[in-house]
Structure 1
Amino acid sequence: MNRRRKQRLFAVSAAFVLLAAAIGVMLYSLNDSIDVFYTPSEIHNGKEATGNKPIVGQRLRIGGLVVPGSINRANDSLNVSFDLVDTGPKVKVEYNGILPDLFREGQGIIATGELKTPTLIVAHEVLAKHDEEYMPPELAEQLKGMNQFKPANAKDTKAGQY
């Protein structure tokens, strides 16, 4: 191999190594800002497909229904705690801030925060979902069996209707 080919090979190899290192650094830095979505059942039982459970200290997003009678507000601050449930076990959420106007018992919400214990999430953002007419038939049937929740569209659960 002549000298010119060696220089090209070295330049291409160096560019490839630098590109791989840059991609690795970007992925490593993005790892801290990725929020995986879980339901209360998935926090207790793990994801259905993989069985992966979140670890304490992990940032995550959780979605579920606010359990009626579980909202506790502090008198001297904006601290509020409430329970979330989907079709299984409950998870407690603590939040310090002003809740959205649509937040109420039985309402679907999404909270972004950190898992402090296996059943406690300290949220830094709470979003209330709009009241929607459509609910998947499986979820509506499961919620019908729970006395504490009455889905608004429990009488009309045909798939595909909006």
Structure 2
Amino acid sequence: MTTIVLVQGDITRQSADAIVNAANSSLLGGGGVDGAIHRHGGPAILDECRRLRASHYGKGLPTGRAVATTAGELDARWVIHTVGPVHRASGGDPSLLTSCYREALRVADELGARTVAFPAISTGAYGWPLEDAARIAVEAVRAMDTAVEEVRFVLFDDRAYEAFAAQLG
């Protein structure tokens, strides 16, 4: 049984087996959570992302998919990069956002990760409405058959924390 924990704070300060990055499809860093993970994790993450782009993901990582790299200087073994959907561009298709959580947990299982820290995927610049994103995230994790023992949602502010707390009841 997976335990779901909520934490308000900075995902780059978490200690976990795997930290999930709300990446862009280029895998080469960006703003928000993606930029923070690359900055705090150091150049080793970008180096592995460049190798992934040169081999398996020449056109970038597709929306809803996930792939792992080293965590560099973060207090984790791995970073699991997943590309969330842009709300307006996807038409608000919940299956794409659900896929981010399922795929990240699938990769975590392949790695043997037991603790995984997630941000609120797609709720920043990608514009997914927070309450809907929280519902999708919690439902996706609860429905997933995974060996991950703890899923930690690391939420940046009060509003996000409260949206996720409301979903956990």
TM-score above 0.5:
no
Higher RCO (CA-CA < 8 Å; seq separation 6+) = 2
Between Structure 1 and Structure 2, whose CA radius of gyration is higher? 1
TM-score (norm 1): 0.31
More helix as a share of residues: 2
